[in-house]
Structure 1
């Protein structure tokens, strides 16, 4: 594990590929010019290289038959419909770019339909499970106070894990009880903290963060939540942390940082919040993305009905 302090938010690095063809290098540059994130660019490049390995011809020469053969091979290899659809989407974007830049006249993906994938329901975490998880950190230590505050903020605000990791001091307004969050596409939204998260965050900032700042020998780290080296945390750091506390809390199901974001949305809807408000709090650009949580709430009601109704 790296012991290097990160005094700036940790960012993903571009995928490195040896002897990358010129057309994929140009495609990378085009994605960068469009403002796509490093993670998105890496995903496209990774998918396209995987496709190239499945054929003796370069992607620039592929026909519709080659694309169909690729999807067939993915199916034979046991890849899920979701993975197949994602790779087909990467190919579509690549050929759309080629046509737009007059590198070829046709898009071999134009007539191919995406596999039907359905929409998987997010993991369901009950309010009792969340309560036990929030009580798991040992708040007699600086690290425990930090971890308690992180879990409370994540659940209270429904943040993405990257938004939590990159949260800076200037984004926090404890007096007003709000966070100013910069999410996907550099879109900014205000999210209320709530009393419990506000109190946990205030306790951490007043009684624990200074101890972690003292370990920072150089630089000026503005991260709210610091590592034991006084720098920004990684997504992996927090993933291991939440797994540890889930075990302490006696939660046997698989959970991740994103599970608390799902719980935030589902519990709001269970208690009567309207879908549009939940969309704004989550930072979803499309309401259809938020609608999945209505299915989670409905599924939970159906399970309760079947378990407790005499004719369930």
Structure 2
């Protein structure tokens, strides 16, 4: 398959794509070539109908909408490359349009569920106090878990009530801390002073959240913490760290917060990303109307 080899070379050398991205393109095109061979078709005989049938076959084989979208993009890029190289004269993929990916609305917890979850940890011991502070911080600021695990003590000002986080693409933002979050972070930090013995790695103590061995928490550890308290509290929804971020944004929006402010707090570079929460709110209103209105 000379065409595939040339295409891979083009992606790597001319477009400078990462190894993972190039590998994904290559897999998609090789899968398409398998479909060609199975149907005994040559590359030059491919038309729009054949490509559309290929996408239908992918759907029938239970490929997700997002995967089909990616494979479509790979095919379109491949055929454009073939045109530019003079390998084919007509581009059958130029009008290829897969079914649009359905927007998946984010899951969130209502206020009672949030209150139950956050108040579940036993704050009479250090780890329970740490977990309460962690949950208060996640819900109170809406920051990402990847941001939480990298928070250092120098980034927190508990007297003024704010925290500095480094988000995607190393973009720094300052987020206000609520009174309750400040209270529990203070109690946690005070108690952890007397818990850890000397001789531990001093650099670790620069981080806010540590495990019982004095090592910074990982993403997996935070996921387990949230899942643990979800089970204890009896919340039936599927819990994951990002659900606190979704809940933070949804509850702000319900309390009439400005969308631009929510965008800034979440660290979204594009407000379109933040607007998903307006769709979520509209969806909730529709359900409410359907349930309670006599002609809903």
TM range (shorter): 0.7 to 0.9
Aligned counterpart for 2:170 among listed residues 176, 182, 186: 186
Deviation at 1:154, TM superposition (A): 0.5
Counterpart check, 1:47 vs 2:33: no
Deviation at 1:233, TM superposition (A): 2.1
Deviation at 1:309, TM superposition (A): 4.5
Q: Which has the higher contact order (CA 8 A, sep 6+)?
A: 1
Q: Is the 8 A contact 1:167 1:181 kept in 2?
A: yes
Q: 2:285 corresponds to which residue?
A: 301
Q: Assess, with a 3 A threshold, how the Cα gap between structure 1 residues 272 and 23 changes in structure 2: closer, same or farther.
A: same
Counterpart check, 1:239 vs 2:223: yes
Scaled by the length of structure 2, the TM-score of the pair is: 0.78
Within 5 Å, which residues of 2 pair with 1:57-72? 71-72=55-56
Q: Assess, with a 3 A threshold, how the Cα gap between structure 1 residues 120 and 215 changes in structure 2: closer, same or farther.
A: farther
- Mapped to 2, the partners of 1:173 and 1:93 lie a distance apart of 49
Q: Assess, with a 3 A threshold, how the Cα gap between structure 1 residues 206 and 45 changes in structure 2: closer, same or farther.
A: farther
Number of aligned positions between the proteins: 276
Deviation string, structure 1 residues 147-204 (Cα, Å, up to 9, x no partner): 1111111101111111112222222111121111111111111111111111111111
Q: Assess, with a 3 A threshold, how the Cα gap between structure 1 residues 263 and 89 changes in structure 2: closer, same or farther.
A: farther
Deviation string, structure 1 residues 286-311 (Cα, Å, up to 9, x no partner): 11111111122222233334444555
CA RMSD of aligned residues (A): 3.5
Aligned counterpart for 2:16 among listed residues 30, 47, 64: 30
Q: 1:38 corresponds to which residue?
A: none
Deviation at 1:266, TM superposition (A): 0.5
Aligned counterpart for 2:109 among listed residues 104, 115, 125: 125
Q: Is the 8 A contact 1:216 1:230 kept in 2?
A: no
Q: Assess, with a 3 A threshold, how the Cα gap between structure 1 residues 172 and 69 changes in structure 2: closer, same or farther.
A: farther
Q: 1:37 corresponds to which residue?
A: none
Gaps of 5+ in 1: 1-20, 33-40
Deviation at 1:117, TM superposition (A): 1.3
Q: 1:266 corresponds to which residue?
A: 250
Scaled by the length of structure 1, the TM-score of the pair is: 0.74
Deviation at 1:245, TM superposition (A): 0.5
Deviation string, structure 1 residues 81-127 (Cα, Å, up to 9, x no partner): 1232244456667899x79xx98999986543343112111113100
Computing the radius of gyration from Cα coordinates, the structure with the larger value is 2
SS of the equivalent of 1:233 reads coil
Q: Is the 8 A contact 2:121 2:129 kept in 1?
A: yes
Aligned counterpart for 2:150 among listed residues 166, 171, 174: 166
Q: 1:229 corresponds to which residue?
A: 213
- Mapped to 2, the partners of 1:145 and 1:173 lie a distance apart of 19
